[in-house]
Amino acid sequence: MIAIDAALEKLAALDADQSRLVELRFFGGLSVEETAEVMGVSPATVKRSWNSARAFLHREITGGAL
């Protein structure tokens, strides 16, 4: 949990919108469509940002290991 929190803080410093997206999707349990509505963006934007945020968090938590 500490690693996740640290990675989320780092993501928030780089991209606050992606951090919010992770909070809404992962912790809030919102769907892509629900997240898009809350954030005022398209579902396609949510999907792209979600993939990018997940990749960033994975790299941070695993130290870049595959």
Domains and their CATH numbers in the chain: 2-62 (1.10.10.10)
Give the model's pLDDT for residue 49: 97
d(CA 6, CA 57): 10
Alpha helix (H) ranges present in 1-66? 2-14, 16-22, 32-39, 43-62
Q: pLDDT grade, residue 64 (50/70/90)?
A: confident
Give the model's pLDDT for residue 66: 61
Give the model's pLDDT for residue 63: 87
Each residue's pLDDT tens digit, 1-59: 888 899 999 999 999 999 999 999 999 999 999 999 999 999 999 999 999 999 999 99
Look up the pTM and report it: 0.85
